[in-house]
Amino acid sequence: MLPRRSTYGRTRVVVIGMGDTGVLVATHLGRSFDVVGVSTKPALVSGQELGTRLADPDLWRRNYLTPLDRFRRLDRVRTVHGAVKALDTDAKLVEVADAGGALVSLPYDVAVIASGTTNGFWRRSEVEDLAAVEAGITEVATSIDRASSIAIIGGGPTGVSSAYNLAKRRAGLDVHLFYAQDEPLPGYHPKTRRRLIRELAEAGVHLHPGHRASVPAGSPTDRLTTAPVEWTTGQEPFVADLVLWSIGDVQPNSGFLPREMLDEHGFVMVDEHLRVQSHRDIYAVGDVAASDPARSSARNFGYRVVVRNIRRAERGSTKLVSFTPPKYRWGSIVGLQDDGMVIHQPNGSAFRVPRWAAQRVLMDVLNRTAIYGGVRSGRRTSR
């Protein structure tokens, strides 16, 4: 029989997945709990801002690729580089295959599922070292360097951000954005959608509404493709040097979980406190959690709800906080630009943070210090 508490008498929390939300949960619980984070990569490889990652990989790395050993608050957190293979809710064990191939059993009092989604070549769930992550980013950027035209399929935030950033930052690249509806960015406020149409056109993006692509066999989202794109909406095939399929081909990373925890699409069913239904000691947050129709708990600070509720439950409180998402999606869409960063609000208004403030205040100080509790500068070898 495993002891209920760690040898230090502290509650054991296992965080499954150290992406955008898992790192936030672990950094905020590390001081008062015995936290282990399971991570497929030895770094936080953020799911944010594909456009910047394609168009300006060095800027993206600065803000969105951070080796885990640079987070000061993770000094107290044990990280296991590997993938979770099973969650045994009877024995309260998280079963992990580590990067060296060994099987590790992690006992938990509380588990947090933050394993995110797989979505194209830019969000993969396989176990990789930092060199492999870096090589993937460089390979894609190099093929874009060689291209003179690109077709981007899909008008969600990933497609819009990619089109905008490539048009702005890659002189000589002819950028075409195709989407099935009249306007891109479904789920955003109508004013936001119209504003982005104007900005894309001003940036030189060729806009193609009313185009629904015929998706070729063989997972085209896994790479940039080169074959002509065919349309189910009747237009002539379109030829470009490269094709980026940002068609929302999102698959939850949940295959290791008991089926009864998942909805019909494989996302984790949670209550308003982001607790897994019928398991009071398991939470789910981020893109893998079916928290609301847009599954928006990552960008809407769901980690705070989870952290507070774990603390409250630890104190014996039954008054848990609830997750309440806004009606429309919000946030930055095209990321950091020469003139700053525009944050779109749920009500359709927007404000611009000047460039100096966006990098130094928003990204370096607020993000790194206030949100993560300090990030060391420079590159160090990760644990």
Ligand X SMILES: Cc1cc2nc3c(=O)[nH]c(=O)nc-3n(C[C@H](O)[C@H](O)[C@H](O)COP(=O)(O)OP(=O)(O)OC[C@H]3O[C@@H](n4cnc5c(N)ncnc54)[C@H](O)[C@@H]3O)c2cc1C
Chain contacts with ligand X (rule: CB under 6 A)? 16-22, 38, 40-41, 46-48, 83-84, 114-116, 123, 125, 157, 253, 256, 286-288, 298-299, 331-332
Torsion 76-15-329-324 (CA) sign: negative
Tokens linked to 39: 């991570």
Q: What angle do CA 11, 37, 265 make, to 5 degrees?
A: 105
**3-state secondary structure labels for all residues of 205-261:** CEEECCCCECCCCCCHHHCCECCCECECCCCCCECCCEEEECCCCCEECCCCCCHHH
Minimum distance, C-beta of residue 237 to ligand X, in the bound complex (Å): 30
41 vs 275 by CB, closer to ligand X: 41
Question: Phi/psi at 187 (nearest 5 deg)?
Answer: 95, -15
Minimum distance, C-beta of residue 142 to ligand X, in the bound complex (Å): 23
Tell me the three state secondary structure of residue 351: strand
Minimum distance, C-beta of residue 10 to ligand X, in the bound complex (Å): 22
Minimum distance, C-beta of residue 294 to ligand X, in the bound complex (Å): 10
62 vs 256 by CB, closer to ligand X: 256
16 vs 200 by CB, closer to ligand X: 16
Question: Phi/psi at 33 (nearest 5 deg)?
Answer: -125, 165
Minimum distance, C-beta of residue 230 to ligand X, in the bound complex (Å): 29
Q: What residue ranges in the chain does DSSP mark as E strands? A: 12-16, 34-39, 43-45, 65-67, 78-88, 93-98, 103-107, 110-113, 117-118, 149-153, 174-178, 206-208, 242-245, 251-252, 268-269, 282-284, 289-290, 331-332, 341-344, 350-353
Minimum distance, C-beta of residue 304 to ligand X, in the bound complex (Å): 10
Minimum distance, C-beta of residue 129 to ligand X, in the bound complex (Å): 13
Q: What angle do CA 184, 202, 208 make, to 5 degrees?
A: 40
